[in-house]
Amino acid sequence: MQFEPVIGLEIHAQLLTDAKIFCGCSTKFGAPPNTHTCPVCLGMPGVLPVLNRKVVEFMIRMALATNCRLNRECNFARKNYFYPDLPKGYQISQYAAPPAEHGWVDVEINGGKKRIGITRIHMEEDAGKLMHDEHNPASYVDLNRTGVPLIEIVSDPDIRSAEEAAAYLRRLHETLVYLGICDGNMEEGSFRCDANVSLRPKGTEAFGTRAELKNMNSFRNVQRALEYEIKRQQYVLEGGGEVVQETRLWDDTAGVTHAMRGKEEAHDYRYFPDPDLVPVVIDDAWIAEIRSSLPELPLEKRERFVRDYQIPVYDAGVLTASRALADYYEEVVRLSGEPKIAANWVMGDVLRFLNEEKRDIRECPISPASLAGMIRLIQQGTISGKMAKEVSEAMYRSGKTPQAIIEEKGLVQITDEDALAKTIAEVIDKNPTQVSQYRGGREKVFGFFVGQVMKATQGKANPQLINDLLKKMLAG
C-alpha cells in the first residue's frame, strides 16, 4: 500500500519587543540568570498582568503577512500545569478565541507553488529555563525568559512531505525576520518548531493517528526528523501495527525519534478565560495603520527584482534572503546603475568574504557606496576586472574606498594611447622572430604579445586598448 504523510507544523516565535508581554522587564537574551525579572513575571502573590500592546501589533503584522483573518475581539486564557519553569502554575495563552485565523502562505516546491493553510495565530508568554547541576542532585531555574512574548502559528494539515515542511518553515522564518518581529535564531530558541505527523493510504481522506515531534532545533533537523518519522510510521503500518498517539523527541545524534514517557504528557490543561485580563479589541483603524506600515515581503521583493532588475530568479532568491542583504544590493544598484554587475559582485565577492568569516551583511566593511564606486571604475575602464578583484578584497580588509586603494596600490589602468603605443613598439622591436611568425599567419602568437605588453606595464594597461593597438601595429 502506498502511504501519504499528513503534516502540520506548530511554530513558536519569540517577538522582538523591548519589554515582556505582561510586565516591563527586558526581553534581552543572555543576561545573568533571574536578572530580567520582577514580581509580575516571577508569579508572586497578588501581582497582575498588564498586556504590552506592542505584542498585539507584532502579532497583527504576522497575521497580515500570512493572509489571516483578524477577529475583532480575542481573549487570553490560562493553560494550567505544574512545572518549575512556570512560576504561576499556568501559562497565559489564547485558546477558544484566537486573534487570527484562516491564513495561508505559498511555498515553492519543485519549481511550482503550493499553498499551505494557517489555522490560527495566537499570543502567549514563554516559560523560563531549567538548568540541571551535573555534579549535584540539584536543578536551578532561570526566569529571565518567563513572560517573553511568543506567537504560535499553527498550520493546517496541508503538508505532504519533509521537503514541503522545510520550505514552509523557511517561508515563515524569512517572513518573521523580514517583518522585524523575530530574530529567527533557532539555536537560542527564538524560533521553534513542533510537528504533527500521520500517514494515510494514498487517495483516502481520513487522517491516521498522529505523533507529535519535538526538539528539532534547526531546519535540517526538522527535515531529518520528519523523514525518519514518516519511514518509522510506514514501517509500523506495513508490519500491520498501529501508530500510537504520543509525543516523540528527535534525537539529533542518533538520528531517530523516540517516545516521551507517557506521564509527562498526560496533561489536562484546564483552559479557562484569564479573569485578570480583559478582551483585546482589534479595530479596523488599527489593522489599517499596521497594514500601511508593513514592509515588502520576500516573495514580492523577489518577483520585483526579477522584473525590474532583469536578474535571474536564482539571483533574486539569494539577494532577498534577508531584508538587510536586499537593501544592500538595492543601494549598490541605485548608486551604480548596474543591477546585473552589482548582483554578481554582491553574490560573488561580498557574500564569499562574509561567509568565510560568518559575518552578517550588516557588518560588511564594504559600504554599498564603495562597491558601487568600484563598479563605476570598472565601467569607466579605470581599472580592469582583474584589478577589481584585488580592490574588493582590499576594501573588505580595510574598509577604505576604492579610490583610496587604487591610489595606494598604484592600480590605475594605463589608458594613455601614446604611452601604450610606445611600450608596444618596444615589444615589437625586441621580438622580431615572433613578429614575422604572426605576420606569416600564426595568429596564436598574438597572445604572446599581449602577455609581453602586460608584463611591461605591470598589468596596468587596459586589455581592450592593448588588443586594439597591438592589432593595428602588428599589421604594420
Partner 1 sequence: MELHELTIHELLDRLRAGETTSAEITASVFGRIDAVEKEVHAYITLMRETALAEAARADERIRKGEIGALTGIPIALKDICCTKGVRTTCGSRILQNFIPPYNATVVEKLRAAGAVFPGKTNMDEFAMGSSTETSFFGVTRNPWDLDRIPGGSSGGSAAAVAADECIAALGSDTGGSIRQPAALCGVVGMKPTYGRVSRFGLVAFASSLDQIGPFTKDVEDCAIVMNVIAGYDPRESTSVPEEVPDYRRFLGKGIEGWRVGIPKEYFIAGIDPEVEAAVRRTIQVAEGAGAKCIEVSLPHTEYCLAVYYIVAPAEACSNLARYDGVKYGFRSEEGRDLMEMYKKTRAAGFGAEVKRRIMIGTYALSSGYYDAYYKKASQVRALIKRDFDEAFAKCDVILTPTTPTPAFRVGERTDDPMQMYLSDIFTISTNLAGIPGISVPCGFTAAGLPVGVQFLAGHFQEGRLIQFASAYEKHAQIEKRRPTL
What is the contact surface with partner 1 in residues (CB under 8 A)? 39, 42-51, 78, 80, 82, 84, 87-90, 141, 268, 270-272, 275-278
Stretch (H or E) spanning 52: none
Task: Report residue 169 as a C-alpha cell.
Answer: 518553515
Residue (266 or 475) nearer to partner 1, CB: 266
d(CA 411, CA 398): 16
Residue (22 or 396) nearer to partner 1, CB: 22
Residue (272 or 448) nearer to partner 1, CB: 272
Residue (91 or 434) nearer to partner 1, CB: 91
Contact 276, 48 (CB under 8 A): yes
Residue (76 or 191) nearer to partner 1, CB: 76
Tell how far CA 262 is from the center of its chain: 36
Q: 179: number of CA atoms within 13 Å, CB side?
A: 28
Stretch (H or E) spanning 250: strand 246-251
Residues near 95 by beta carbon (within 8 Å), at least 6 away in sequence? 75, 77, 79, 122, 271
Task: Report residue 432 as a C-alpha cell.
Answer: 622580431
CB of 277 to partner 1, least distance (A): 5
CB of 88 to partner 1, least distance (A): 5
- How far, in Å, are 19, 92, 254 from residue 317 at the CA level? 34, 38, 33
Residue (53 or 455) nearer to partner 1, CB: 53
Q: Which of 37, 263, 13 is nearest to 123 (CA)?
A: 13
CB of 139 to partner 1, least distance (A): 8
Name the strands in the sheet holding 211-216, side by side, starting at the edge strand that comes first in the sequence: 69-70, 100-109, 112-125, 149-155, 3-14, 191-201, 211-216, 246-251, 256-259
CB of 286 to partner 1, least distance (A): 18
CB of 41 to partner 1, least distance (A): 11
Residue (98 or 339) nearer to partner 1, CB: 98
Contact 89, 25 (CB under 8 A): no
CB of 123 to partner 1, least distance (A): 14
CB of 159 to partner 1, least distance (A): 28
